[in-house]
Structure 1
Amino acid sequence: MTQSSETMDGPATTPQDTRRAQRLSSTSVAVIAIYGLVVAMILLSRAVSPAFGGLSQVETIFYLAAFLVFCAFGQGLVILVRGLDLSIASLITLGGVLSTALMAGSNDGLFYILPAILLACALIGVVSGIGVTFFAIPPFIMTMAVGIIVYSLCLGFTQGTPRGFPSPLLRDLMQARLLAIPAPIWLLLAFVAVGTVLQGYSAFGRKLNAVGNNPEAAYVAGLSARTLTISAYAVSAACAGLTGILLAAYANGATLRMGDDYLLPSIAAVVVGGSSILGGRGSFLGTVGGALLLTTLATILSALGIGQGWKTILEGLVILVALIVLREQVFDALQAGLRGLKKG
């Protein structure tokens, strides 16, 4: 008598299904934990200053974290497919420099110039993806080289001094309020909603996860690992360009180093948020939590007047602690301990 793969109650659960459910559970716990750390840090910040811990500080954190979230989303997709994008800083600069130079303080052509800038950035991402997939250049080397080339082009285009001003419409948007909440926060919430669906629930996101988990198995399943990987780099580059456009509107101008402060934090936000640096596992909500944690920490350290050197050391220590505490192995050990207590 042959064994059936189904029981009277429904489909049988395979070991693979069990492992997947445990991984998803660990990822969910990591996301909850990172937001818990953010809340705890905001509440504890009252010890630094009575002005901290209130709605105004939360508003500031969300406002500043928005820029990091925009570029970290694309970085997260690249990491999901076992890559790394070191060209983000230069592409942020490119987005800011082109938007201010081409708009020149006017709204004329806004609705075709900005899409053209994003398309140009995406095409640069395609170049990075092609180098990684077709020519087997390590992502670290390929994206670093692309970043150097893009920065050099920005330097030549501006002759060392970016000129022009952002569109007044964009500048007003970055300063506007809707229902007493800054417009960039509404933009952040909309971006998080779209990004969560795209990475976690769409066919595109599931395919990226499959490629990151096992490229060979994905190929056997009929997925084009090369095309998906190139798409991830294109999205990352476009997100970096968008970040540069919004940063220039926020600061009312562009600088040649405006993207430098977002390169390493974009990677840290993804990893601290529970994504695996080896690919195949990640949550955009976790990345958002990681960005909020890093921004909260930076805000508190700045209020304390700590020097940049010590500030960098403390940020690194917090990231290391978060990575240790939020490891999947830690959650597995806790779950095993809880199961042992229940049996006892």
Structure 2
Amino acid sequence: MDEFSWIWVGLVLLFGISAVVAPGTMTRGSILAMLPFAGILAIVATGQTLVIQQRGLDMSAIGMVSLAGVIMARSGLAFNSILLAVVFTVFVGGIVGIINGALISRVAITPLVATMAVNALLIGCVRSLTGSVPVDVPTVMQTISHAQLLGLPANVWFAFVFVASAWVITRKTTVGRRFVAVGVNPRAAEAAGIHVLKYRIGAYLASAVCFSAAGMLLAGFIGSASGTSGNDYLLPAIAAVVVGGTPFTGGKGSVIASAMAALFMAQLGQLVMALGAGEAVQLLVQAGAILLATTTRYSPTLLRTLKSTRR
């Protein structure tokens, strides 16, 4: 069993525990209520996975998710076309991603500092656009976000498209193999003639597009966009990547495992809420999930190290 397979075991155990401890979370209604948010989290986690595969971290998820919802809502009413609004929002998100990538790859600012600074600017833009008052989302987007296809929420199908696309590109194409090579060893990749800068900036561009899509779907599902919309999509997304098995050392990663871990985190949050725990306990549970996943992943290496030391 590899490092990306444990999440399937964890999912089965979590749903089994939920069925015993809080049966109400396993009803069809509860699961259908949880899945749209799991789908949105899976899209954010997909973008975060791609960045972490390049040894980075995108802390601008909060601001980008919030800003995307506001831009989509405002431009949808201005253009009187949800399609133009979506295209414009993704374009703005792409620009933000390029700025993040350029600050990190060209200016050599550490990912944590660069993306946190950009996140602060994005939140400032949201407050300026909204005046700290929620913005109503066009009815068309609400209808799309609340739609169902083959018994599953539309957000789940959107998540499937993003995850499947990222998996195919990173695993089945030459671009994907070069992307992984850059994440494993940038210097060796550059020596091999790979344009390292393009792939590093591309990772942040892809993550921003994912965050933008998630922000639009979230705003459509809630019915409004605000400066606090993205608050719940930073730590859970990073937790999903870690729980899914993607290491921060770069290169290896699995967007499918991250998506399954997003489902794990969504169900875990629902279970904790069903047991009457507050927000502080939910954060502790998320931190505990990260710690447990990290410990599980590195325990075989630790055991081998201890055995070799004893010899």
Give, as a single letter, the amino acid of the residue that structure 1 aligns with 2:108. Answer: A
2:171 to 200, 219, 227: 200
How far apart, in 2, do the equivalents of 1:312 and 1:174 lie? 27
Q: Kindly state the Cα deviation for residue 54 of structure 1 after the two structures are TM-superposed.
A: 4.2
1:72 to 45, 57, 61: 45
Partner of 1:89: 62
Partner of 1:155: 127
Deviation string, structure 1 residues 249-308 (Cα, Å, up to 9, x no partner): 000001111111111112111111111112111111111122111111101001111122
Q: Is the 8 A contact 1:125 1:234 kept in 2?
A: yes
Q: How many residues align?
A: 305
Are residues 1:268 and 2:239 paired? yes
How far apart, in 1, do the equivalents of 2:38 and 2:297 lie? 21
Partner of 1:143: 115
Assess, with a 3 A threshold, how the Cα gap between structure 1 residues 271 and 49 changes in structure 2: closer, same or farther: closer
1:296 to 267, 280, 305: 267
Assess, with a 3 A threshold, how the Cα gap between structure 1 residues 84 and 50 changes in structure 2: closer, same or farther: closer
Could you tell me which runs of 5 or more consecutive residues in structure 2 were left unpaired when the two chains were aligned.
Answer: none
Greater relative contact order: 1 or 2 (C-alpha under 8 angstroms, separation 6 or more)? Answer: 2
Partner of 2:106: 134
Partner of 1:166: 137
Assess, with a 3 A threshold, how the Cα gap between structure 1 residues 154 and 52 changes in structure 2: closer, same or farther: closer
TM score, norm. by length of structure 2: 0.91
Give, as a single letter, the amino acid of the residue that structure 2 aligns with 1:38. Answer: L
User: Larger Rg: 1 or 2?
Assistant: 1
2:21 to 32, 40, 48: 48
Are residues 1:330 and 2:300 paired? yes
Q: Kindly state the Cα deviation for residue 190 of structure 1 after the two structures are TM-superposed.
A: 2.6
More helix by share: 2
Q: Kindly state the Cα deviation for residue 59 of structure 1 after the two structures are TM-superposed.
A: 3.4
Give, as a single letter, the amino acid of the residue that structure 2 aligns with 1:182. Answer: P
How far apart, in 1, do the equivalents of 2:84 and 2:262 lie? 30
Q: Is the 8 A contact 2:48 2:207 kept in 1?
A: yes
How far apart, in 2, do the equivalents of 1:162 and 1:287 lie? 31
Assess, with a 3 A threshold, how the Cα gap between structure 1 residues 331 and 183 changes in structure 2: closer, same or farther: farther
Partner of 1:21: none
Q: State percent identity of aligned pairs.
A: 30
Partner of 2:96: 124
**Larger mean Cα displacement after TM superposition, 178-187 or 140-149:** 178-187
Partner of 2:81: 109
How far apart, in 2, do the equivalents of 1:331 and 1:202 lie? 31
How far apart, in 2, do the equivalents of 1:295 and 1:74 lie? 17
How far apart, in 2, do the equivalents of 1:43 and 1:55 lie? 15
How far apart, in 2, do the equivalents of 1:99 and 1:37 lie? 36
Give, as a single letter, the amino acid of the residue that structure 1 aligns with 2:261. Answer: G
Could you tell me which runs of 5 or more consecutive residues in structure 1 were left unpaired when the two chains were aligned.
Answer: 1-25, 338-344
Deviation string, structure 1 residues 123-159 (Cα, Å, up to 9, x no partner): 1110111111111111111111111111111111222
Q: Kindly state the Cα deviation for residue 331 of structure 1 after the two structures are TM-superposed.
A: 7.5
- Where do 1:246-285 residues align within 5 Å? 246-285=217-256
**Larger mean Cα displacement after TM superposition, 78-87 or 56-65:** 56-65
Give, as a single letter, the amino acid of the residue that structure 2 aligns with 1:156. Answer: S
